[in-house]
């Protein structure tokens, strides 16, 4: 019976911890808001929300460029492969025509 009450009390403690969020008073002390994590706490505490959003935007744009750059790279590799095949065929045709004329 004692273990059951300990288990219940520990689960109620963890439930209480989940219900007790971390609150942030911003640097200008104008308002209080809940924070979801320590990182979120510091971002909100020092007013870095705009900076974080700007960094996220930069990262998204860089990823878009990388995706398009990888597409262009793949396209150029395919184009080079096809051009090499075409040059091979033209060289073979040229050799064939030279042998026929000789």
At residue 3, the pLDDT reads 47
Residues 64 and 80 in one domain: yes
Q: Are residues 31 and 71 in the same domain?
A: no
In the block, tokens 């090499």 appear at 84
| Together in a domain, 101 and 54 | yes
Please, what's the b/e burial string for 43-79 (b: 16 or more CB within 10 A of its CB; e: otherwise)? bbeeeeeeeeeeeeeeeeeeeeeeeeeeeeeeeeeee
Domain membership of residue 10 as a residue range: 1-47
Write down the pLDDT at residue 19: 62
Mapping DSSP onto H, E and C, the string for 32-64 reads EEEECCHHHHHHHHCCCHHHHHHHHHHHHHHHH
pLDDT along the chain (102 residues), means of 10: 48 53 73 84 84 90 82 89 93 76 62
Does one domain contain both 54 and 102? yes
Look at residue 68 in the predicted model and tell me its pLDDT: 83
Q: Are residues 54 and 73 in the same domain?
A: yes
Residues 6 and 43 in one domain: yes
Largest CA distance in the chain: 107
């Amino acid at each position: 019976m004692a273990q059951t009450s300990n288990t219940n009390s520990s689960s109620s403690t963890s439930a209480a911890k989940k219900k007790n969020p971390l609150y942030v008073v911003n640097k200008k002390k104008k308002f209080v808001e809940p924070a979801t994590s320590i990182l979120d706490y510091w971002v909100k505490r020092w007013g870095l929300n705009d900076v974080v959003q700007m960094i996220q935007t930069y990262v998204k744009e860089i990823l878009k460029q990388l995706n398009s750059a990888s597409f262009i790279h793949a396209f150029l590799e395919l184009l080079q492969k096809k051009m090499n095949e075409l040059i091979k065929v033209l060289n073979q045709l040229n050799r064939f025509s030279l042998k026929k004329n000789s």
